[in-house]
Amino acid sequence: MDKTTLKRYTLSPMENVSTIRERVRRDPGISDFRRKVYDALLDVPEGYVTTYGALAKRIGCASAQAVGGALRHNPFAPEVPCHRVLASDGTIGGFSGHRDGPDIARKIALLRAEGVEMDDEGKLLDAKQFILDFRF
C-alpha cells in the first residue's frame, strides 16, 4: 500500500476520538449493540490491538462472533479502528468481511503503519501490543 493510499486510512493525532465517539453515539442508523462495540474499540490506541473475545468481554457480550459481525458492518472505519482487532491466537482474523486478499493486506499495512509488528502471514509478533483487559 503506498503512502498516499495509507494516509486516507489514518487519522490525525487522536483526531478527535471524542468527536468520533460522539458521532457513534448519535448515529440513529446503528443498533445499541454495534454502538457499544464501536465505542469500546475507540479505547484501543494506535500501536495496539485487541481480540474479538476481549472486546466482547469489555462490553459484556458472550460472543466474539457477534462482535466480528458488528465490525464487519462498521460504517465509521477507519476512524473506528476495526483493523485493530485480531483473532485470539494473534492472527489477522478478518477485515471488511474477508479472510484473504487485498482487504487483509490493507489491514496488515494499517497495523504496521501504526507500529504494530506483524509477520507476512498476518500474525502479531509482539504480545506486549495486545490489550486484553482494557485496564490502562
Q: Which amino acids are annotated catalytic?
A: 82
What are the residues whose beta carbons fall under 8 Å from the beta carbon of 37, sequence distance 6 or more?
A: 55, 59, 67, 70, 71
Cα 42 to Cα 45, 81, 121: the distances in Å are: 7, 7, 26
SS3 content of the chain, % helix, strand, coil (to 5): 45, 10, 45
Contact 129, 135 (CB under 8 A): no
Tracing cell 507476512 back to the chain, one arrives at: 120
Q: What is the DSSP letter of 63?
A: -
